[in-house]
Structure 1
Amino acid sequence: MNQTQLNKRTFGFILVILGASFWGIGGTVAQKLFQQENIEVGWLVSSRLLIAGLLLIGVYKITHWNNSIFVMFRTKHNAFRQILFSLLGMLAVQYTYMMSISIGNSAVATLLQYLAPLFIMGYYLITKHSQLTRQDGIAVTLTLVGTFLLLTNGSFSTLSVPGLAVFWGILSGLSAAFYTLYAVPLLQQFHSLLVVGWSMVIGGIVMSLFHQPWQINMSNWELSTIAYFLFIVIFGTMLAFWFYIASLHYLTPKETSLLGSLEPLTAVMTSVLWLKINFGGFQLLGTMLILCMILYLTVFPKKQQ
């Protein structure tokens, strides 16, 4: 691996780490917003998708003034792929995850969402795009064990949730796997700002049919409420998804999904430091396992064809 390839991989690692961290912190901020203002989940999903998506498309237009923002809709094939990615990827990831949290709890929802690397590897094995390597096995083991300990503190009792919460959580993991895999062909043709931006706008429009963003009373919102909402839109949505998707330019989908496990790590850390939630010994061990996985992928990158 030459210096240029190494620099690109390093940049990819930075992107996915920032994206996952922003997403995890955004989840904690969203929890604070739900507790403080009783914000409805469907309203927050539709609002954040629409605003963040329009911002991303606006950034693309400013930086690529002479290019059309509708380039992927010029052919039926590309338009179909973009719409499918928007609904089964972007919108599905957000909605299924929130549904699992609302019925069960965030620990189980996040743990089930991080079955995505297993679904991705299963897809590769079934389609014979790759074989399971020792590196894959070590990375997945560190990820799943670390995430489980991080979110449950080693107690199986925290997994006692309604079956419907497990159902939505598994769908969340499948959606995250689809989101990661299906984005690659789109990114090979179009800029990541457009791919992510349009997926948010399309997903937000569909969600708005059921939860209208304009149907909310903001007269009693405090300055802190506005700040929380803006953080969720800009950092927890726009930058989080953009950086995550952009990392696929430099890393494999398997690596990106594994490094995405920083999301629960940052969510737990911000909950401990900000919401004053107790942090147990098993959670500390889980944190160390996830950090070991990141270090392992960084120091021993798989040779790419």
Structure 2
Amino acid sequence: MNIPNRKTGFFLVITGASFWGVGGTVAQKLFQEYAIDVNWLVTTRLLIAGLLLLTIQFFKKDRSQVLGVWKNWKVAMQLVIFGIFGMLAVQYTYMASINHGNAAVATLLQYLAPAMLIVYLLLRKQTMLTRLDVVTVSLALLGCFFLLTNGSLSQLSVPAPAIVWGILSAVALAFYTLYALPLLKQYDSLVIVGWAMVIGGFALSFIHQPWQVDITNLTVEASLYILFVIVFGTMIAFWFYIESLQSLSPKETSLLGSLEPLAAVLTTVFWLREPFGTIQWIGTACIIGMILILALNKSSSSKTSKSNKKPLRVS
């Protein structure tokens, strides 16, 4: 890896991770100030971003994979399941958590997924308990407690629906991560994620038709925010993250990817002026610390780390 390529890689992963985090905050602004329907935004975001990712794959990478993924019926069924119960589930629960609370808490709760994976693999006896597992799970639980209560045992500092949706988002992300592994061994990330987004958006369209929402009264500012969430906060963020792997190791991209929750917290607090207590900052530090520990330790994620040549991101 030469210096210029590594500099490009650092720029791509930092920019991509920051776009993910800021994208959640922009979505919060759309929900709270412009009354954008969460169902419409999720559907539109998935359909457009998915098609854009498949377009990038078609023109810049192995175009045969774009349709080739549908030639095997077993792979096709796995992709449909992943699109609905993986991609759509993660995206919807994450956005619903933002809608009921804020982007900072939603993003941090979603990042409990690695700790959930550790516990799951331990219960399935697919890995042995290590000191690192104890530390990371403890940090996740402690951080979650501080984040949601701000140190008070008598009341929550975050609305209950936001917590429920956020925890469901972490569960969905844990499933998303494990279920995608066989698919990623056969096809490029852009193909799997692109089609999963299209499938998820198409499935949600049967319940909440995006074309039935009147968007003619949207202001220019609101339209630009929607464009940012779809293009920069989803498509470009994922593309940049994947492209950074051309010049950086998966370990480095995972480490720098932890800028996502930090970007979400900072923009939520300083741009949207959301109140954040001292104890909540400590909780945030605990969760980000857990992410950094997992990213720095190459063998920490047990079996899931074996596939990190093609890491998946989702926010």
TM over 0.5: yes
Residues 224-233 or 147-156, more deviating: 147-156
Alpha-carbon shift at residue 121 of structure 1 (Å)? 1.2
Aligned residue for 2:132? 135
Give the alignment partner of residue 53 of structure 1, picking from 43, 47, 50: 50
> CA offsets, 1:237-291, max 9 Å, x none?
2244556788999659xx96x9876544322210122112344322333344345
Answer whether contact 1:100 1:109 (CA < 8 A) is retained: yes
Alpha-carbon distance in 2 for matches of 1:248, 1:185? 20
Return closer, same or farther for 1:205/1:70 CA change in 2, 3 Å cut-off: same
Give the alignment partner of residue 70 of structure 1, picking from 67, 72, 79: 67
Return closer, same or farther for 1:261/1:150 CA change in 2, 3 Å cut-off: farther
Aligned residue for 2:89? 92
Alpha-carbon shift at residue 40 of structure 1 (Å)? 0.7
Matched, 1:286 2:264: no
Q: Alignment length, in residue pairs?
A: 293
Return closer, same or farther for 1:151/1:237 CA change in 2, 3 Å cut-off: farther
Alpha-carbon distance in 1 for matches of 2:266, 2:163? 24
Aligned residue for 2:228? 231
Q: Which amino acid aligns with 2:286?
A: L
Aligned residue for 2:199? 202
Q: How does 1:145-164 map to 2 (within 5 A)?
A: 145-150=142-147, 152-156=149-153, 157-158=155-156, 161-162=159-160
Alpha-carbon shift at residue 99 of structure 1 (Å)? 3.6
Query: So what's the TM-score if we normalise by structure 2?
Result: 0.77
Give 3-state SS (helix, strand or coil) of 2:91's partner.
Answer: helix
Aligned residue for 1:277? 274
Answer whether contact 2:109 2:144 (CA < 8 A) is retained: no
Alpha-carbon distance in 2 for matches of 1:165, 1:150? 12
Give the alignment partner of residue 118 of structure 1, picking from 115, 120, 123: 115
Answer whether contact 2:25 2:102 (CA < 8 A) is retained: no
Answer whether contact 1:180 1:245 (CA < 8 A) is retained: no
Matched, 1:217 2:232: no
Answer whether contact 2:113 2:171 (CA < 8 A) is retained: yes
Alpha-carbon shift at residue 102 of structure 1 (Å)? 4.7
Alpha-carbon distance in 1 for matches of 2:120, 2:295? 24
Structure 2 residue runs of 5 or longer lacking an equivalent are 307-315
Return closer, same or farther for 1:182/1:285 CA change in 2, 3 Å cut-off: same
Alpha-carbon distance in 2 for matches of 1:293, 1:221? 40
Identity %: 51
Query: So what's the TM-score if we normalise by structure 1?
Result: 0.79
Aligned residue for 1:266? 263
Alpha-carbon shift at residue 53 of structure 1 (Å)? 0.3
Answer whether contact 1:147 1:264 (CA < 8 A) is retained: no
Answer whether contact 2:148 2:158 (CA < 8 A) is retained: no
Alpha-carbon distance in 2 for matches of 1:151, 1:21? 23
Q: How does 1:101-112 map to 2 (within 5 A)?
A: 101-102=98-99, 109-110=106-107, 112=109
Structure 1 residue runs of 5 or longer lacking an equivalent are none
Residues 294-303 or 78-87, more deviating: 294-303
Answer whether contact 2:122 2:129 (CA < 8 A) is retained: yes
Q: Which amino acid aligns with 1:94?
A: Q
Q: Which amino acid aligns with 2:118?
A: M
